[in-house]
């Protein structure tokens, strides 16, 4: 095994970062397996490769060729992208450009967090590369654009305050000529949102909150006699999926806060635990589907969605899949977010099934028992948890990881608070 250790400066490299990528290249990523320009090898997020050189007969012959440290004590949760022989890697500490043939470092740029940032610097998703720029998110709520050739910073924009409970561990998505980013912190009494940015200048184009304000569509699913909507969660902490043909971005949202539904009036709490279809130029929500109304089980819909054209009952349908944390695998029509099918893929005890006529889960008595203060086991703890699924368009099979364990929960009775 050959080890290629990272050095502060590497001279005489045979590969230099390529300066430009086009929208057409990004859209055609799945058809160019020599490059990996997007997370999951294509805007459809199928995580599918047509390459056939490595198969069951020879996979045992794979051996490491080189290794390189990426200088991160918190582990790697993000995926790299590859363009013309250069691999671009992000984590909570650094951004790297690495020669894929040798593992040599071409450049590295540190992530300099604001003083007082206390969370561990994790990072998920993958960097976005476009027209010579690399885009990423940092834990302390910044969108950053770097020069792909040098790693130098081109622009940096702050979108939220850590002191208010916001942080960010996800990755942006490029939809046409708009860069879209999300946020984390739904558990910290924040209000979720997506931002749209001009990738060239860093100018913010729009903000779309994932909890509607009073008077907006969906606000009837929040109490009218409190400000719960201002602190109700629905974070956008993973990444979205872009359909260039429909010009829609599908973004899953996290659960409502707190997961105890009583402060939220026992209402649906839109758009928590949902998928929203957003028009990238304006941030308008074109349609939505809520996976877990009331969001009372600490499961969310934030994981990425896979897009495919599938023949159903003799008709070709534009669909999207998600293996939800609530234990059901959903098939939705991505033109209008309507439900087509939903089946459990792990043990589920909070609902008996999903009613295809209403699109809503048919609940068991579990929620009533939780609200009553009983100690209960919720199945599943996580159906699938923060890991992308894969789809083989040749076989029509979906692949996902699963958790076969329950979560034990009990709502604590109100505590008397003594001030002073």
Q: What is the full DSSP assignment across 246-314?
A: TTEEEEE---BSSSSSGGGTTS--TTTTEEEEE-TTT--EEEEEESSTT--SS----S--EEEEEEETT
Q: Helix or strand or coil: residue 182? A: coil
Cis geometry, peptide bond prior to residue 271 (ω within 30 degrees of 0): yes
For residues 296 and 257, give the distance between their C-alpha atoms in angstroms, rounded to a whole number.
Answer: 9
Q: Are 204 and 272 in contact (CB under 8 A)?
A: no
> Which residue, 51, 25, 41, is CA-closest to 79?
41
Q: Helix or strand or coil: residue 154? A: strand
Catalytic positions are 298
For residues 135 and 37, give the distance between their C-alpha atoms in angstroms, rounded to a whole number.
Answer: 12
Q: How remote is the C-alpha of 199 from its chain's centroid? A: 19
Backbone angles phi, psi at 18, to 5 degrees: -75, 140
In angstroms, the Cα distances linking 246 to 22, 176, 360 are 19, 11, 26
Backbone angles phi, psi at 111, to 5 degrees: -90, 115
What is the CB neighbour count within 10 angstroms for residue 286? 17
């Amino acid at each position: 095994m050959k080890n290629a250790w990272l050095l502060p400066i590497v001279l005489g490299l045979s590969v230099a970062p390529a300066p430009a990528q086009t929208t057409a290249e990004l859209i055609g990523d799945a058809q160019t397996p020599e490059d990996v320009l997007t997370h999951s090898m294509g805007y459809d997020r199928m995580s599918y490769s047509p390459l056939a050189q490595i198969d069951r007969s020879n996979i045992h012959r794979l051996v490491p060729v080189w290794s390189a440290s990426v200088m991160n004590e918190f582990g790697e949760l993000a995926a790299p992208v590859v363009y013309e022989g250069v691999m671009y890697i992000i984590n909570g500490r650094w951004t790297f450009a690495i020669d894929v043939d040798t593992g040599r470092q071409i450049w590295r740029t540190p992530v300099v967090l604001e003083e007082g940032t206390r969370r561990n610097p994790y990072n998920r998703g993958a960097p976005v590369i476009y027209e010579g720029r690399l885009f990423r998110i940092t834990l302390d709520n910044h969108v950053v654009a770097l020069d792909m050739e040098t790693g130098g910073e081109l622009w940096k924009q702050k979108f939220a305050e850590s002191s208010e409970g916001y942080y960010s561990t996800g990755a942006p998505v490029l939809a046409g000529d708009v860069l879209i980013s999300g946020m984390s912190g739904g558990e910290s009494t924040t209000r979720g949102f997506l931002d749209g940015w001009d990738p060239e200048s860093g100018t913010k184009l729009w903000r779309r909150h994932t909890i509607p304000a009073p008077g907006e569509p969906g606000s009837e699913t929040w109490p009218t006699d409190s400000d719960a909507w201002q602190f109700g969660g629905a974070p956008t902490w993973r990444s979205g999926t872009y359909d260039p043909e429909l010009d829609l971005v599908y973004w899953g949202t996290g659960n409502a806060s707190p997961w105890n539904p009583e402060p939220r009036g026992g209402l649906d709490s839109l758009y928590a635990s949902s998928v929203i279809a957003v028009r990238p130029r304006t941030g308008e929500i074109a349609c939505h589907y809520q996976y877990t109304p009331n969001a009372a089980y600490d499961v969310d819909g934030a994981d990425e969605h896979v897009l495919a054209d599938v023949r159903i009952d003799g008709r070709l349908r534009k669909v999207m899949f998600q293996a939800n944390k609530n234990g059901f695998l959903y098939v939705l029509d991505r033109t209008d977010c309507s439900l087509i099918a939903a089946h459990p893929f792990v043990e589920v005890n909070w609902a008996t099934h999903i009613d295809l006529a209403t699109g809503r889960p048919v609940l068991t008595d579990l929620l009533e028992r939780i609200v009553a203060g009983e100690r209960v086991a919720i199945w599943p703890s996580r159906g699938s948890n923060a890991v992308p699924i894969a789809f083989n368009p040749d076989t029509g099979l979906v692949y996902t990881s699963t958790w076969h364990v329950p979560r034990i929960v009990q709502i604590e009775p109100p505590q008397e608070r003594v001030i002073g």
